[in-house]
């Protein structure tokens, strides 16, 4: 039977009243398993009112007490990990261990946010003027919103909610319509952990809901993650409405393979980084750049060998390496790109189209796909495919391999495999990409560092989580103090100097 989902506002589930719904699929069997209400403008405005009221007390709650609630939340999520991961797999399609990783990475940011009492400390200067001291403080913004993509339905909402809540804001999450059940369960667990009602809210919806979050002056900041055209337009609208915004977009991540690299290590790395989670990761490697023909020929042979052993299947089947893609429309888009690559003249070495999985004939399957001899002008190189499709561009030398990711429109992640420290150092210093890996498949997010791409992969000037998360969700106030000390200088009409 199809489940009917809700919103979560003020510490409780709230039925949708707009009369508009979206279908939530199980991508492994291609069937609708839930109906999701899409919020009207009035429903969003009501949630903002609830959040605004709740924030007043939360914003002045001692940060250590706020942190204790986050600690309890982490405990509860661990205790419910298997149930959450299975729910995530059923709507997203990624494998059960991968779903656990999605939740775990989100929790790591919450664990970092438990350090809020330290991270929110201001600065103090003694005697900035005669008998004058100056200090700064970080204060919450008020009501803030997060708009998140389908591909990490636990991790990315927690990246946004953690620093927002720990800093004393009330948070409204607008998760993806494709896999909203885990965010709703996380909302229940926040309440169970003792978070006051109205501090973590989930509004399900589409553009109509997002437009209200962007327009309502009570929402002070927008954190977005998703595709580049939407990221760019949300950033522009939020800025035009005087809001703080950080909007992260799409990617085309390259891996450079130098002739001295260990090619077995590289081929293993490319299996996970290229095809894990069906390539639906913003940090997936979608372009491999072997340097020199000899490197390229040897690498392609090793990739073909390994691809033949990959198993695509239901996410709960422990023998599956990766699961279905999220939607029928995603499957069609990816298969269209494969045809575009063929038409553009790339060599299709492994074709993942037309895959069926016995017992799951209606699932949204795309098998691992490999293109060789891709060139810079092809659409399959320039555009984000967001599926299990790996393109090989053969570079003649290091400088060409460095130029390709540096000049690409996107600048999220990149990696290089080499045994030479000099080359690695030169690469990490010169490449025009936000996150760099050296002999690792891709730099994964680390909670206590920041995460964010360059160029068309990120709009705004602060990254996600790490110290930037706290900067984004707080405003700084500077206080200048002098206590009467008996000195009387009389009125002065000139600008006082620092000295």
> What are the catalytic residues?
282
Distance CA 429, CA 253 (A): 17
Among 40, 55, 167, 176, binds ligand NAD (CB under 6 A): 176
Mask: binding to ligand NAD, 396-425, rule CB under 6 A, as x and -? Answer: ----------------x-------------
For residues 76 and 161, is the Cβ–Cβ distance under 8 A? no
Dihedral angle sign, alpha carbons of residues 147, 150, 154, 155: negative
Distance from chain centroid for Cα 86: 20
Q: Which CB atom, from 249 or from 323, has the smaller least distance to ligand NAD?
A: 249
Among 167, 320, 369, 457, binds ligand NAD (CB under 6 A): 457
Q: Does the protein bind ligand NAD through residue 372 (CB under 6 A)? A: no
Q: Does the protein bind ligand NAD through residue 171 (CB under 6 A)? A: no
Length of the chain: 499
Cβ of residue 421: shortest distance to ligand NAD, in angstroms? 29
Report CA Rg, the chain. 25
DSSP 388-445: SEEEE--BSSHHHHHHHHHHSSEESEEEEE-S-HHHHHHHHHH---SEEEESSSS---
Q: Does the protein bind ligand NAD through residue 230 (CB under 6 A)? A: yes
Residue nearest to ligand NAD as judged by C-beta position: 226
Q: Give phi and psi for 338, each to the nearest 5.
A: -60, -45
Among 111, 177, 262, 409, binds ligand NAD (CB under 6 A): 177
Distance CA 390, CA 332 (A): 17
Distance CA 271, CA 312 (A): 12
Cβ of residue 411: shortest distance to ligand NAD, in angstroms? 10
Mask: binding to ligand NAD, 247-286, rule CB under 6 A, as x and -? Answer: -xxxx------------------------------x----
Q: HSE-up of 52 (CA within 13 Å, CB side)?
A: 12
Q: Does the protein bind ligand NAD through residue 369 (CB under 6 A)? A: no
Cβ of residue 211: shortest distance to ligand NAD, in angstroms? 7
Cβ of residue 447: shortest distance to ligand NAD, in angstroms? 14
Q: Which residues contact 25 (CB under 8 A, 6 or more apart)?
A: 31, 32, 33, 91, 178, 326, 327, 364
Among 384, 442, 459, 462, binds ligand NAD (CB under 6 A): 384
Q: Which residues bind ligand NAD (CB under 6 A)?
A: 147-152, 174, 176-177, 206-207, 210, 225-227, 230, 248-251, 282, 384, 386, 412, 453, 457
């Amino acid at each position: 039977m199809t489940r009917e989902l809700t919103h979560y506002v003020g510490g409780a589930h709230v039925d949708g009243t707009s009369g508009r719904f979206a279908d939530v699929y199980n991508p492994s069997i291609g069937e609708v398993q839930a109906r999701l209400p899409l919020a009207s403008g009035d429903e969003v405005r009501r949630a903002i009112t609830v959040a605004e009221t709740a924030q007043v007390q939360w914003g002045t709650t001692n940060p250590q007490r706020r942190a204790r609630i986050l600690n309890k939340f982490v405990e509860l999520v661990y205790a419910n990990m298997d149930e959450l991961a299975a729910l995530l797999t059923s709507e997203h399609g990624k494998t059960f261990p991968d779903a656990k990783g999605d939740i775990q990475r989100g929790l790591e940011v919450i664990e970092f946010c438990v350090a809020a009492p330290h991270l929110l400390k201001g600065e103090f200067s003694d005697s900035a003027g005669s008998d004058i001291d100056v200090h700064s403080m970080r204060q919450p913004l008020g009501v803030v919103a997060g708009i998140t993509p389908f591909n990490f339905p636990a991790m990315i909402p927690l990246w946004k909610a953690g620093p927002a809540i720990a800093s004393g804001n009330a948070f409204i999450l607008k998760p993806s319509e494709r896999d909203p059940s885990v965010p709703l369960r996380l909302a229940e667990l926040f309440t169970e952990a003792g978070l006051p009602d109205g501090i973590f809210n989930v509004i399900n919806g589409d553009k109509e809901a997002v437009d209200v979050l962007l327009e309502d002056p009570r929402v002070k900041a927008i954190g977005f993650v998703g595709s580049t055209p939407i990221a760019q337009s949300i950033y522009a609208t939020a800025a035009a409405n005087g809001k703080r915004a950080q909007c992260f977009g799409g990617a085309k991540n390259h891996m450079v393979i130098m002739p001295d690299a260990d090619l077995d290590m590289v081929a293993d790395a490319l299996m996970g980084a290229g095809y894990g989670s069906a390539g639906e990761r913003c940090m997936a490697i979608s372009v491999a750049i072997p340097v020199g023909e000899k490197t390229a020929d040897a690498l392609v042979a090793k990739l073909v060998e390994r691809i033949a052993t990959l198993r695509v299947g239901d996410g709960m089947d422990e023998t599956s390496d990766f699961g279905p893609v999220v939607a029928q429309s995603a499957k069609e888009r990816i298969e269209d790109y494969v045809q575009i690559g063929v038409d553009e003249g790339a060599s299709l070495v492994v074709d993942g189209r037309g895959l069926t999985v016995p017992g799951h004939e209606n699932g949204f399957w795309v098998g691992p796909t490999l293109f060789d001899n891709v060139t810079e002008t092809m659409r399959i190189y320039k555009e984000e495919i967001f599926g299990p499709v790996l393109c090989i561009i053969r570079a003649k030398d290091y400088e060409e391999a460095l130029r390709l990711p540096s000049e690409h429109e996107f600048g999220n992640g990149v990696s290089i495999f080499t045994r030479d420290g000099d080359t690695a150092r030169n690469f990490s210093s010169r490449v025009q990409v936000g996150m760099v890996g050296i002999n690792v498949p891709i730099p994964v997010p680390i909670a206590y560092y920041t995460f964010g791409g360059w160029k068309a992969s990120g709009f705004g000037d602060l990254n996600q989580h790490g110290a930037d998360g706290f900067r984004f969700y707080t405003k700084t106030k500077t206080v200048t103090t002098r206590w009467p000390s008996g000195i009387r200088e009389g009125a002065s009409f000139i600008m006082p100097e620092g000295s």
